[in-house]
Amino acid sequence: MIIINSEQAIEKMRIAGSLAADVLNMITAYVKKGISTEKLDEICHKYIISKGAIPAPLNYHGFPKSICTSVNNVVCHGIPNKKTLKNGDIINIDITVIKDGYHGDTSKMFIIGNASIKAKRICQVTQECLYIGIKKVKPGIHLGEIGKAIEQHAKKNNYSVVRDYCGHGIGLDFHAEPQVIHYNNNLIEKSPILEPGMIFTIEPMVNIGSYKVNTSKIDNWTVTTKDRSLSAQWEHTILVTEKGFEILTIRDEETI
Ligand code: MF3
Ligand code: CO
Ligand code: CO
């Protein structure tokens, strides 16, 4: 069952979403060569708590930290640690907050210093994939149209789309129905039809090489590309409106 949110719930999701966006804005000044991802986690944790919210990842199915930090060949669910960022790294920071019971979930890529053209390009194309997916959203379309558009754009750039992790419905629950797949399959006509009031994330993970991934057998969280190629991800929380979509986690720097 996909929840159709009331106007009151939507208002709370706007607040949670804008706080999650605000955390990404706040952390930007710190995302520089030499800082550890553990330090980024600590700064975000304190900031989220200071706003009367809760960092949703902390203790979520045993996740040990408050944010996810996924560097270079890490696809998602990277655990903040003592390792410091170095020149040329690319890092996804994924923020999920719970405010007044409701979740806001968003992530973006940061480029550390002078990165290779290759590294900058995977970040940019993946952001384009997210925007192309978002622009499909309106009442009456099949959910599967989003992934079809995303994969088309990734493939055009000779990249692959990760299949093992999806976007998700979000609200009082962190992860709810529907599953938002980011690739094309032959089940589009069988996928749900969008209605105003639905809220879900779109969060494509795109790899330079193969779409295949591994999960760490050491920490049971860190997802990496099987071929060690670079991976990028961008995420927004999206409301389906009468006219189309509203991005609940939009940042001022964005023009879409
Ligand atoms: N924020 C991630 C998502 O976009 C989920 C992280 S779950 C965690 O769905 F436990 F790893 F934090
Ligand atoms: Co998400
Ligand atoms: Co997220």
- Ligand 2 centroid to Cα of residue 202, in Å, is 7
- DSSP 3-state of 233: strand
Structure confidence by residue, pLDDT tens digits, 134-169: 999 999 999 999 999 999 999 999 999 999 999 999
Q: Buried b / exposed e across 152-172, counting CB within 10 Å, b at 16+?
A: ebbeeeebbbbbebbbbbbbe
Which residue is associated with the tokens 């706040």?
26
Of 171, 168, 139, residue with least CA distance to 244: 139
Phi and psi at 132, nearest 5°, equal: -65, -40
Of 42, 84, 46, 86, residue with least CA distance to 64: 42
Of 182, 163, 174, residue with least CA distance to 225: 163
**Strand-strand pairing, 74-76 and 223-225:** antiparallel
Atom of ligand 1 nearest to the CA of 63: 10
Of 200, 229, 196, residue with least CA distance to 212: 229
pLDDT (mean) for 233-240: 99
Q: Average pLDDT, whole number, for the chain?
A: 98
pLDDT band at 107 (very low <50, low <70, confident <90, very high): very high
What is the per-residue pLDDT for 256? Answer: 87
Phi-psi region of 34 (alpha: psi -120 to 50; beta: other; left: phi over 0): left
The span from the CA of 142 to the CA of 127, in Å, is 22
- DSSP 3-state of 41: helix
- Ligand 3 centroid to Cα of residue 105, in Å, is 5
Say if ligand 1 is within 6 A of residue 68 CB.
yes
User: Count of CB atoms within 10 A of residue 178's CB?
Assistant: 19
Residue 224 has pLDDT above 90, yes or no: yes
Tokens of 179: 């599953």
Residue 54 has pLDDT above 90, yes or no: yes
Choosing from 41, 75, 76 the residue with most ligand 1 atoms within 8 A of its CB, the one to mutate for a pocket test is 76
- DSSP 3-state of 47: helix
Residue 235 has pLDDT above 90, yes or no: yes
Provide the whole-model pTM: 0.99
pLDDT band at 31 (very low <50, low <70, confident <90, very high): very high
Atom of ligand 1 nearest to the CA of 175: 9
Q: In this structure, are residues 19 and 50 in contact, taking their beta carbons and an 8 Å threshold?
A: no
Residue 251 has pLDDT above 90, yes or no: yes
Say if ligand 1 is within 6 A of residue 57 CB.
yes
Residue 16 has pLDDT above 90, yes or no: yes
The architecture in CATH of the region 7-247 reads Alpha-Beta Complex (3.90)
pLDDT (mean) for 231-252: 99
Domain spans, the chain: 7-247
Atom of ligand 1 nearest to the CA of 165: 9
Choosing from 92, 94, 109, 177 the residue with most ligand 1 atoms within 8 A of its CB, the one to mutate for a pocket test is 94
pLDDT band at 75 (very low <50, low <70, confident <90, very high): very high
- DSSP 3-state of 134: helix
- Strand ranges of the sheet holding 160-161, from the earlier edge strand across to the other edge: 160-161, 205-207, 231-233
- DSSP 3-state of 91: strand
Which residue is associated with the tokens 């304190």?
46
Element (H, E) at 102: strand 102-111
Say if ligand 1 is within 6 A of residue 96 CB.
yes
